Amino acid sequence: MEGGAYGAGKAGGAFDLQTFIRQPHTVLRLVSWVFAIVVFGSIVNEGYLNDSKESEKFCIYNRNHNACNYGVTVGVLAFLTCILYLALDVHFPQISSVKDRKKAVISDIGVSAFWAFLWFVGFCFLANQWQVSKPEDNPMNEGTDAARAAITFSFFSIFTWVGQAVLAFQRYRIGADSALFSQDYTDPSQDSSMPYAPYASEPEAGPDIGGSYQQPANAFDAETQGYQTQGY
């Protein structure tokens, strides 16, 4: 795991494509992106069958349009979410504010966990509707491979999004590197709340009670000063 603030180094470094692609969370986002394409692409292309009795097409999953709509909607939104967070991953090392990095990582945790839940619901929904589908609705077994592919990759997507949430949580635990960043530091010279810079004055000498005394320059001056003190 890369060191620094929330899994990234100090802001301002050059972008390295090879390093970026090799990062675990980047790999999982790309895999999730591909899985989302497979899910909604399979349903859109072969998930709707022609009805010989009716002019309208019906969903291959037990004629339940909600199942097809759910799979397509979740797949498309997951596809867009992967692109959004891939762009955020590219920009993340350039974010200098530790607080902004923290918000980005927390959102990654929440969004990844939320999508893992949606894919779990989608897998259960599609698998259930596929299981109760009637053979007479599709006697030619058209689109069965695509329907199974959508269910399979919905199941795989659960783990890729859970993995993204776990990696984001690990980045959150790394936190801010105190050696590189400071969240709340304020330069005292730039703090507008202080009317003037603090001034440390030297301690003043106390009052001279006995008066000032000058050391005689030589022994003659000392003797003369002694006579003057005695009144001679």
pLDDT in tens, the chain (232 residues): 444 555 555 555 566 778 878 899 999 999 999 999 999 999 999 999 887 676 788 899 999 999 999 999 999 999 999 999 999 988 888 887 778 888 889 999 999 999 999 999 999 999 999 999 988 888 788 889 999 999 999 999 999 999 999 999 988 887 754 434 444 444 445 455 555 455 555 555 555 555 455 555 554 454 545 545 444 4
Rounded to whole angstroms, how far apart are CA atoms 36 and 77? 9
Collapse the DSSP code of 71 into the 3-class scheme (helix H, G, I; strand E, B; otherwise coil) and give the result.
Answer: helix
Per-residue H/E/C for 170-208 = HHHHHCCCCCCCCCCCCCHHHCCCCCCCCCCCCCCCCCC
Q: Report how far apart the first and last C-alpha atoms of the chain are (Å, whole number).
A: 94
Residue of 157, 80, 61 lying closest to 116 (CA atoms): 157
* Nearby residues of 2 by Cβ (< 8 Å), 6 or more positions away: 8, 9, 23
Question: Is pTM, for the whole model, over 0.75?
Answer: no
Distance, in Å, from the CA atom of 15 to the CA atom of 99, rounded to the nearest integer, reads 21
Give the whole-angstrom CA distance, residue 74 versus residue 155: 13
